[in-house]
Structure 1
């Protein structure tokens, strides 16, 4: 497909740097209530490599590859990941074009805002998309007055599901990886947060997990006020104390009481099914549905209510039944493009109307051994599960200023002893993972086990 012209997206002048991960830089567009997500690419280190990269970049763009790859990823996001997690929790997205000049200006303006360890990558020309900004409440009418300030809690819950082949490990992957991060100097102390506790659905374990995130946020817990970062990694706990007194609008209670009530509020949001319309499962295959039932009854006990955000995320993580070693062995016999599976999976889904996505993914992971050697779609369960293991969720709050018994009938109003709150829940960071993710995880697990053994010796 050849793309000869595109319309440049006009970036509003009041954009705000929201943050970045390994693959993307995120800018907030406050007036539009949108997030502009820009892909990153490896930074060149020499004049020759810069020149080669520049020439390749020109050809790459001229042939339309950048736009087509972004379109490929957005199609995957809309047709696969969004339905899997749930359209109540995952917003729509729109592809946009940023010119080379815009990218250069952004690079210069972001230079003093980006953390040093992220500057090994630069912004990628030609790949950007717009999403709803979950740090702000949707612009809807509410039949009662709300506070002026909007507060948002971002959580990166990580891996709550442990595949059968990894159940012998002494701790979950996140907890074991803490020792690697400490050895590498990425953190000063080991966090007591455990994803398995958060995904357990047990109130006391969930509250303990949330308290651990507050005490040691690392990159897994952030607080925003009106779309701007208020508390997170490398922040003093005093900031969170200020936030929580402001959030509940009280200075009479102790910090411990406020933290407890805050964790209970967040826990309730994570356990509530906010769907306004319940979708009936009329799947004509039942493979995943029956498999999921067996897993729940015999191997993995969770008390998460059906349809809550954590249950939706966990159900996608659970597509990886076998664990990394199994998929690593399969991949070792293949030579595959990083994203070859993406288009093929979208085609496979379109060929099977009436079949739920989880059933299709599980079927692909259980195809005949002879076909398996030829078909790279057998890796799909692991790669989709990896997306859910690395996603983020956002809880957004506004306080209801007038107590009214009618509020309690609304699904998106949560009550606390300090008042009622309108809440919205969103899930993001859901783009496809490259096939090399399997190799990356293999190396990471090897390092994790070596470091753990060293610390336990």
Structure 2
């Protein structure tokens, strides 16, 4: 990775005397929330057997990597997805003793499968915690937060002859590999359709079978558990906020849909809300790839436009050499953009595909709080939706938007082949034509 421009002297952040809550982790990072701040901290992991003598070298590489991710986030993603949905991220310097204490405090909450890596970092990335009660300060109610990992919202031409989209095909392979217990009824084509009737059905399917694509929390506490039904949990939230609701899930899904379709112009289009009553049991076996009718500039439209950059590209013909050099070139390209169409015109096939990969794997965070008439008057330039005779203030963010390594391409070629081969076997076994 080439050296990155940016502030190499970030401000210090002390974790001493702060309440830290473990949120989760992936292969590269651990994420914790800093209670009462409305912020989360992302910390880079290293293998447990790292040589202590490598500390200086490690710190330099860590700083270089984080500066690179920060530039990609602030220059490329903000332009493509929009300032409204990509929130500021800052680089901070950390105390090594405090990090050592932190790992001791959170280790018991970490999955055993992840504990071959630990923290030995000197820096971190600080960003908005959408689950925090402080993310929206205008009212003191807890924050209801929805996380949706949308996946691929369009169907490539190569799959047009098949009943299913790629996500739904992949469900059969996941079932075969025992990575899921049952096939999800969720289809991302429905969520990205722009038709609230189909979007409602898609969200209901996510609630029924969340897998890793849907989560609900109230002030960072997950709503899903074995003891309380999701309907009762949401009902309890509305009751806490002094809102009378007969059907809590119905109201919540309408709030989510209004948020996903919201744009800066606040334009309403009655055709978006036309309910399709022509569905029948047979059509439910197909993924509906009708044209999208998303309002321009809404969060789903921004993500979809990035995904569609992949359109027409043949994976096996894309040339790549360095894992992240394409992203370095993107940062330079978007440094002083004149307009988005001009930037798009300059993208090569590799850059288009890798940007689409980010958009297919990102998550949408929706923070929700009810408002009273007094707090509504205090708001300026906020997202407001109205349901059940109540106003709700909304904060939307797109997260998990780091650049992907080009080494993923070969993995994707193999995965796509495996998904299609397995799906065709399923069709043959069930005597289904395409």
TM-score per shorter chain, which class? 0.7 to 0.9
**1:172-183 matches, cutoff 5 A:** 172-183=165-176
Post-superposition shift, 1:103?
4.2
Post-superposition shift, 1:444?
1.7
Determine whether 1:310 maps to 2:315: no
Match of 2:286 in 1: none
Determine whether 1:58 maps to 2:55: yes
Match of 1:19 in 2: 24
Match of 1:301 in 2: 291
Match of 1:412 in 2: 383
Question: How many matched pairs?
Answer: 399
CA distance, structure 2, for counterparts of residue 354 and residue 115 of structure 1? 46
**Which residue, 46, 63, 69 being the options, matches 2:65?**
69
Unaligned runs of 5+ in 2: 267-288, 430-434
**Which residue, 223, 237, 259 being the options, matches 1:247?**
237
Distance change >3 Å, CA 183–CA 139, structure 1 → 2: closer
TM-score where L is the length of structure 1 = 0.78
Post-superposition shift, 1:137?
6.1
Distance change >3 Å, CA 160–CA 56, structure 1 → 2: farther
Q: Secondary structure at the match of 1:302?
A: coil
Post-superposition shift, 1:388?
0.9
Match of 1:364 in 2: 347
CA distance, structure 1, for counterparts of residue 221 and residue 345 of structure 2? 40
Q: Deviations over 1:93-120 (max 9, x none)?
A: 1112345544443333332212344445
CA distance, structure 1, for counterparts of residue 303 and residue 330 of structure 2? 20
**Which residue, 346, 350, 369 being the options, matches 1:379?**
350
Unaligned runs of 5+ in 1: 45-49, 277-298, 366-377
Distance change >3 Å, CA 160–CA 407, structure 1 → 2: farther
CA distance, structure 2, for counterparts of residue 4 and residue 74 of structure 1? 12
CA distance, structure 2, for counterparts of residue 421 and residue 4 of structure 1? 40
Determine whether 1:354 maps to 2:348: no
Post-superposition shift, 1:184?
2.6
Q: Deviations over 1:386-411 (max 9, x none)?
A: 11111111111112245999799976
Distance change >3 Å, CA 450–CA 23, structure 1 → 2: farther
Distance change >3 Å, CA 93–CA 310, structure 1 → 2: same
Contact kept? 1:25, 1:37, Cα under 8 Å: yes
Determine whether 1:162 maps to 2:155: yes
Match of 1:431 in 2: 402
CA distance, structure 2, for counterparts of residue 435 and residue 200 of structure 1? 30
Post-superposition shift, 1:174?
1.7
Determine whether 1:329 maps to 2:317: yes
TM-score where L is the length of structure 2 = 0.82
Post-superposition shift, 1:176?
1.7
Match of 1:342 in 2: 327
